[in-house]
Amino acid sequence: AINKPANILVHTDGNTNETLQNAVYNYLIKHKKNKFCQTVHRLDYETTGIVLFAKNSLSLAYLAYAFENREVKKEYVALINGVLNPCEGIINKPLGKDRHSNLQIVYAKGKSAITKYKTIWYKNGISKISINIIGGRKHQIRVHLNSVGHPIIGDKLYSLDMHNGLKLHASKICFINPETMTMQKIQSKENF
């Protein structure tokens, strides 16, 4: 598990080799560790937090299957504008790609996406919330929160927010470890 910083791609987009995947691989080479490392999932360029890597092909297959079948539980933390009402709830809106841009939108004929949220605190017009997702669609959390009028602070893509840096962090991940077959929980503290 790697604590991904903001503003780095998890894997290449074809334009850059400065990726988290390559940084981990180069670290392993430098320290004469196992050379196999493959990301199991991804986070957006601006999002910080936990990214899992598999250290062998068997673990990669196992974890990829677990993600696909929603057996991996992920929790995020975000700062949003305003206060959600109710303070705990579910946003259940299908998502799809906008035909006119590279953005995701709430779309009736889109793919199922469910975002569960709970307010942690509220002060000075800002709420800190915890988030669990079902679906794992591209930009799901960002689009869902913006669709209910509470964009993530720093989200210049969906809300034109002028704050510096997206305030979205992958803070916890729980999964069955393929080597020990025991429940593994990894946590990471946000820096906002």
Q: Which of the residues are catalytic?
A: 44
Contact 49, 3 (CB under 8 A): yes
| Residue 37: C-alpha distances to residues 2, 56, 65, 170, 180 (Å) | 12, 7, 17, 20, 18
Rg of the chain taking only CA atoms, in angstroms: 17
148 contacts: CB under 8 Å, gap ≥ 6: 84, 91
Alpha-carbon dihedral angle through residues 147, 9, 180, 72, given to the nearest 10 degrees: 10
Measured CA to CA, the distance from residue 138 to residue 141 in angstroms comes to: 9
Residue 5: burial class (beta carbons within 10 Å; 0-12, 13-18, 19+): exposed
Contact 174, 72 (CB under 8 A): yes
Please count the other Cβ atoms lying within 10 Å of the Cβ belonging to residue 13.
9
